Chains A and B, each alone.
Chain A
Amino acid sequence: MSDFPRIDRLPPYVFAEVNDLKMKARRRGEDIIDLGMGNPDQPTPQHIVDKLIEAAAKGRNNRYSVSRGIPNLRRAIAEHYEEHYGVQIDAETEAIATMGAKEGLFHLILAGTGPGDAVLVPTPNYPIHSYAAVIAGAELLTVPLLGAKTTSSTGSAAPSSATGRGRSS
């Protein structure tokens, strides 16, 4: 146990091993075709980039913004959901902008769970879905998505008997 128990709960990044080999090969001058990370390679559509440049040029836009997102942006996502899914969202109380889904999801788990709670995730999964719970100190219950075998990394409870506090209503 080191001085940093929360960090001790985070195992070494599995992808690092392959990434290291990739970097070494590239340094040797090898042409590696990288189909590893899901990092989109295409440019952002021009009209969106143009708007960013225009907005950045206005001094007042460079001040601190609003944590939950400016009202126009929250209204725009509500309109998008109405148009695409027929779902009504109250932009004031049911929508918040986050710095990517990853940050938002992590902070929501951190805000809402802790020791005594159980977080259920199908696996394999996008790692933050599991590690958000691990970092928050909640119990992680895993359910295999591929239907091969039932495993649980930290608990044996089935979904229907998950422990911890539930919703109060």
Chain B
Amino acid sequence: MILSFPNNPTTQVVDLDFFERVVRFATDQKTWVIHDFAYADLAFDGFQPPSFLQVPGAKKVGVEFYSLSKSFNMPGWRVAFCLGNKDLVGVLGRLKSYIDYGIYQPVQIAATVALRGPKECMTEINELYRHRRDVLIQGLARAGWAVEPPRATMFVWAPIPPQYKALGSVEFAKLLLREAKVAVSPGVGFGPDGEGFVRFALVENDQRTRQAMRSIRAMFQGTGAAESDTPMAAEVHA
């Protein structure tokens, strides 16, 4: 089974107890576990995502993927790791030995420095996403769109407001693009069970995020896309 918490797109998080149950299940059912831990270091409000490998016995049933993409702002560098069970690490290594000659060595050397170097940059990256999350959630709330703030990841997973629900996530995403000039990911893109939601990625600065939220509010109010940097208008219907 393939798990991933903190989760993309739903932003769902789990505690260590969940992984303990997964290890028990995998042991009983003789199932392998792959845990994709891509958002290991993007968590807020004091929450620390647990590693699957913290569970005693986890290494007997599975592996975890840890990535530098989000933790160190290195997405295009393509550096991650498969860690844990010797057999799984072994088969992956054997397959890869037929396919590639490894990551460009200077990238590996710089990645080593990232992992061993000062960790303040990780705190700063985390703080940046937390702040954007708050800006986005507050902006949505002002538009009358109440969404629970995520405890981790660089996303906000938002149920489509009732008045637009019937459109479905693809049509609603297109409407946001046309009317509010904001691009989001339709939930159904993450599988049929994602229908009814859209995903916001926290990849624009505070000012642009605020502008996007004002445009969405204007669209909900039926006044079209807001101009750039329009001062906040009065409260809207909740």
- Of all chain B residues, the one with the shortest Cβ separation from A60 is B105
- Bound CA span A34–B187, Å: 16
Complex Cα spacing A107 to B190, Å: 20
Does B218 touch A at the CB level, under 8 Å? no
Q: Using an 8 Å CB-CB cutoff, how does the interface string of B165-193 with A read, 1 for contact, 0 for none?
A: 00000100110011001111111111111
Q: Which residue of B lies closest to A33 (CB)?
A: B212
Q: Which residues of B contact A108 (CB under 8 A)?
A: 34, 63, 82, 88, 91-92, 95
| B184 and A36 contact, CB distance less than 8 A | yes
Looking across the interface, which residue of chain B has its beta carbon closest to that of A85?
B51
Residues of B within 8 A of A90 (CB): 86
Find out whether the CB atom of A125 lies under 8 angstroms from the CB atom of B190. yes
A35: chain B residues at CB < 8 Å are 182-184, 200-204, 209, 212
Contact pick for B38, options A101, A111, A121, A144, CB 8 Å: A101
CB distance from B81 to the nearest CB of A (A): 5
A69 to B96, CA, bound (A): 11
**Interface residue B230 (Cβ < 8 Å from any Cβ of A):** no
A111 contacts which chain B residues (CB < 8 A)? 91-92, 94-95
Quick one: CB contact mask for A84-119 with B, threshold 8 Å, 1 for yes? Answer: 111101100111111111111101111110000001
- Supply 15 further A-B pairs (C-beta < 8 A) apart from A44-B77, A73-B109: A22-B183, A34-B203, A51-B113, A55-B106, A62-B106, A66-B102, A72-B112, A95-B83, A96-B93, A97-B108, A101-B37, A108-B34, A127-B190, A129-B2, A159-B29
Query: Which 5 residue pairs across A and B have the least CB separation, nearest first?
Result: A166-B30, A124-B194, A124-B190, A55-B106, A65-B102
| Residues of chain B whose beta carbon lies under 8 Å from any beta carbon of chain A | 1-4, 7-10, 12, 25, 29-32, 34, 36-38, 50-51, 53-54, 59, 61, 63, 65-67, 69-70, 72-75, 77-86, 88-97, 99-118, 121, 125, 128, 154-155, 170, 173-174, 177-178, 181-194, 197, 200-205, 208-209, 211-212, 215, 228
